[in-house]
Amino acid sequence: MKQPLFVILILITLSCTINNERKPGYVFPSFTGNGEDGLHLLASYDGYTWQEVDDYKSVYLQTEGLMRDPSICIGGDGKYHMTHTTEWFDHRIAVTHSGDLVNWTPTEFLYVWCDYRGIGTEESDGSSWAGSSLSEPVKRDSLVKNCWSPTIFYDDRTKEYVIFWATTIEHPDVFPESWNPEIWENMNHRIYYIVTRDFKSYSPRKLFYAPVYHQVIDAFVAKVDEENYVMGIKEESLQQLHVVKSRKKLDTWENMPPDFWQDISETEPFAGRDVPGIMVNAEGNAIFRVGEDWLIYCDYWKTKSNGAFLTRDFETFTNITDQVQLPGWIRNGKIFEVPVSEVDRLLNYKTEGPGIVVEPIPQATWR
């Protein structure tokens, strides 16, 4: 009788181990200050309670400039791939790669506006696009204001990495319906994107999301199922967050159909200025699944705090901020899912000393 009981115990142990390994964990990448000292990480077993990785020391330092708004995905190769903002005003985005989230390749800068030749060439026609050599430096066109909050999304169905970011082309004839010279630095953002399968060759730059009457930044895409996607987006002039849904069939992201995304004017904001129960400026959304629920975190940058919401249909949102435990204000980062074993490993990762120490760089005057 002892042998069958012993076998049963082994089977139960193996079952628990397998189930635990299938259970996801979560990582929250972020930055401090103005982004001088690189990447900081939090990890969580449940998406609600977060712990600092290595006492919140930096695990990656950019080779130049800043490291703001980090976005990380797990690719089809099993590795981690990150994009981040490089400066307040720049025409590049940064890309780097890691096998363990703490050791990263040197920063590679992608000159995503390499072929811009003035008004009317916001979307590349491909004729002079340097898709296989985007890391070769080129002179910045004076109309290209910035590249903010680049986000990387890997679609395991299409096997593509989609990188999208917000840029202002500083001219009243580019999206004139929302041009407002009284806005700080003449900002008038729309979302642009490129696609790659190997980080060697990139598709020509195209518009990813460009509602006619709305300035938009901080896009974040989540795959709901094999046919449907959602995108969190910030209406910049109103300082509000929305979720828009896909509304067409998608074969590949490189050939994303026109009007793929729902117009922001068809949705109601769930967080931000003048939103009942919130009433503070919001940005930096991250959407991720926990069981049957979807959680959305955001950054209340003006009050230096965070918000969290729960939804199942992306139409009704419940404020669950009081259920979330964060060690402090966590800046504009994009939460992503990892195997629970990765959370174990990260929370056991410890280094000696104070970590990376750099001189502070003043932020732009409005923040």
Location of structure tokens 């004017």: 265
pLDDT for 144-203, tens place per residue? 999 999 999 999 999 999 999 999 999 999 999 999 999 999 999 999 999 999 999 999
Contact 30, 331 (CB under 8 A): yes
Q: Name the DSSP letter for residue 112.
A: T
* Backbone Cα Rg of the chain: 21
In a domain, 170, yes or no: yes
Q: Residue 179: which CATH number?
A: 2.115.10
Q: What distance lies between CA 63 and its chain's CA centroid?
A: 20
Please report whether residue 332 resides in a domain: yes
Q: Cβ distance 335 to 297 under 8 Å?
A: yes
CA-wise closest residue to 70 among 56, 84, 60: 84
User: Looking at residues 280-300, what average pLDDT do you find?
Assistant: 97
- HSE-CB for 120 with a 13 A CA cutoff: 0
- Within-domain flag for 105: yes
pLDDT > 70? residue 253: yes
Contact 57, 356 (CB under 8 A): yes
Residue 118 lies in a domain: yes
Cα gap 195→197, rounded to integer Å? 7
Contact 101, 94 (CB under 8 A): no
In tens, the pLDDT along 95-112 reads: 999 999 999 999 999 999
- 16's enclosing H/E stretch is helix 2-22
- Tens-digit pLDDT profile for residues 18-50: 445 578 999 999 999 999 999 999 999 999 999
Count: domains in the chain: 1
48 occurs within a structural domain: yes
Residue pair 182/237 in contact (Cβ under 8 Å)? The answer is no
Domain that holds residue 113: 2-279+324-347
* 366 in a structural domain: no
Name, in order, each residue with C-beta under 8 angstroms of 105's C-beta and a sequence gap of 6 or more.
96, 97, 98
